[in-house]
Amino acid sequence: MAAAAPLGPRKAPRQRRSAHTVEALLEAAAQVLELRGLEGYNTNAVARRAGASVGTLYQYFPGKDALTLALLLREDRLFHEAAAATVALPGFHAALGAFIDVAVRQQLSRPNLARLLDEQEGRPEFRAALSGKYPFHDLLAEILSKPDAPARWQDPPLRRLAADDLLALMRGMTDAAGERGERDADDLARRIGAAVFGYLAASG
């Protein structure tokens, strides 16, 4: 039996041109997934979409799974950067509301891509590779620690528990909305906000 291709990239881009090539390959992978689904997702299709040779793709990614993991990491990084910016907002309510809005728009801006990547993220090898890379619960815990947050959440163990619960709640609702094909980000953000602030009020 042939050994599975490694998940890590074959090499990291060191020059601007190489970085542009890798980004083009990742965006092409995203577009192939969106348009053709997992059935039509392969390295040849991605290379064609990027306007590159499959040999160029293999210079950076040893196989389809390595490409998929790189795409998962890209999407998580973009989400984390946007979510981290909400922590700097003054006030607990404003920061948490903005975090919810970021989470919703991450899911609904490219819903087919988000749904398919969510499925892939559940694979054990991807879950292990992604673990701890972008700790979104840490951002939520930081929001809950703001001075104007309810006093209950100033206790660190309770705050971390609440952050984990809220992240699970947001993920569950956004994933379900994506599976249903929802497109109204404002309405979904309103419903998640009601659930999140309701949880905090009931638990406080």
pLDDT digits (tens, 9 = 90+) for 188-202: 999 999 999 999 988
Confidence of residue 131 (pLDDT cuts 50, 70, 90): confident
Q: Is the pLDDT of residue 4 over 60?
A: no
Q: In the prediction, which pLDDT does 21 show?
A: 93
Confidence of residue 1 (pLDDT cuts 50, 70, 90): very low
pLDDT digits (tens, 9 = 90+) for 20-67: 999 999 999 999 999 999 999 999 999 999 999 999 999 999 999 999
CA–CA gap between residue 162 and residue 174 (Å, rounded): 18
Q: In the prediction, which pLDDT does 5 show?
A: 58
- Average pLDDT estimate for 163-183: 92
Q: What is the overall mean pLDDT for the chain? A: 90
Q: In the prediction, which pLDDT does 152 show?
A: 87
Q: Is the pLDDT of residue 15 over 90?
A: no
Confidence of residue 16 (pLDDT cuts 50, 70, 90): confident
